Structure 1
C-alpha cells in the first residue's frame, strides 16, 4: 500500500524529486522501512490539518523540536500512511472530526532528525522518510494537549503561522505546502 502511494506520487519540485528517489530506493533496499528499529531511517506520516475554508492550520508545540509544527508520527509497521496521519492528528490535537482532503500524498520530504532523548532513551541521528497528507478538521472541536508529545495546540492563520515556527530547517517544508494549499484555494473560488 505505502509503496504504491510513493511510486505514484508526482513530485512538485526538484527537492521532492530527489527526496522521492531516496525514499523509493530506501524502501526497495529495506524490508523494515516502516519500523523505528531501522536506525538509519524509517517511514513517517504527517498531516497539515486545515479548517474547511483552508485559511487556518492546526499546529502543535512539540517538546522535542521546541517549535510549533505539523502533526504526525512513526508508522511502526502500519503500511496505511493516511490512517497513521489521521490517527496522529487526532492523538496530538484532540480533534475528532477529521477527514482527508484526498487519499493521495500531498507532499514528500526527507527530514533529518538530530539525536535526542525520548522516554529516557537515546535516539541516534536518523532520517524521517515522510509522506504528508492534507486533512480537513472542524475548527470548533475542542483541542487537547497531548502532554507526552506537546505543550500546546492552536489554530493559526496559514498566512501567519510561519512566524511561530522556530525550527528553521522546517520553514521551507511548510512554505512549499502553504504555496500548494493556496493553489487549491484559488481553484475552489
Structure 2
C-alpha cells in the first residue's frame, strides 16, 4: 500500500491548535510504523476518511446520525486498503448520504488538502476490540437542495448551521471543524 501520498498530505497540513497538532504527529508516526495502516484488520487502529460537507455558501454543514454509535457525526468510514483517503472520504459520504452533488474542495493550486485530523477511540463491539480511528477529514461541498438517500447505518441526515452542529454533536472534534474558517 502506498503510504507516501498520505504522509505528504499530513506533513504539509497545518493544524489549528496544539491538540490537533499532537493528533497529526501521532497519525504520521502511525502511518510510518504500520505499512497496513489502511486495513481494518490492523486491530489496534487504522486510517479512516471523513467528509466535512458544507453548502456552497459555507453557511450550512451536513451531519449524519450514526445508528451504531448513536451520535451526530460527519460522514466517513474505513479505507479498507485504499490509500487514497480523499477518495475514501468522498465514497463514504456518497454511500451514507445518497448525495450525488458532492465535490472535494481544492486549494488554489488545484490540490485537495486535508481539512482536519482526528484520532478517536471506537468502543469494542462483538469480536472487534476497542481500537483507534486515525481520521483524515476533507472539505466537501454539496447542494443543500438535493434529496438524501438513507443507508442502513444512518438514523437521520440533516443540514445545520455551524452553531447548531456544535450543540447537536457535543464533540470537540465536530466543534473544532465547525470553528474553522471555511473560505468560499
**Residues 70-128 of structure 1, C-alpha deviations (whole Å, 9 max, x = no match):** 100011111111111111111100110111123100010111111124xxxx2210111
1:61 and 2:65 equivalent?
A: yes
The answer (yes or no) to whether the contact 1:144–1:153 under 8 Å persists in 2 is no
1:107 and 2:112 equivalent?
A: no
1:136 and 2:134 equivalent?
A: no
Structure 2 partner of 1:3: 7
The answer (yes or no) to whether the contact 2:165–2:175 under 8 Å persists in 1 is no
Structure 1 partner of 2:165: 161
- Of Structure 1 and Structure 2, the greater strand share is in 1
Kindly state the Cα deviation for residue 162 of structure 1 after the two structures are TM-superposed.
2.3
Instruction: Give the TM-score normalised by structure 1.
Output: 0.88
Match among 77, 81, 84 for residue 80 of structure 1: 84
Give the paired residue count: 175
Give distance in 2, aligned partners of 1:93 and 1:184: 21
The answer (yes or no) to whether the contact 2:43–2:131 under 8 Å persists in 1 is yes
Instruction: Give the TM-score normalised by structure 2.
Output: 0.90
Give distance in 2, aligned partners of 1:155 and 1:110: 24
Structure 1 residue ranges (4+ consecutive) displaced by more than 6 angstroms after TM superposition: none
Structure 2 unmatched ranges of 5 or more: 107-111
Match among 126, 133, 136 for residue 131 of structure 2: 126
RMSD in angstroms over aligned alpha carbons? 1.3
User: Aligned with 1:59: secondary structure?
Assistant: strand
Match among 43, 47, 71 for residue 47 of structure 2: 43
Give distance in 2, aligned partners of 1:2 and 1:76: 15
Structure 2 partner of 1:179: 179
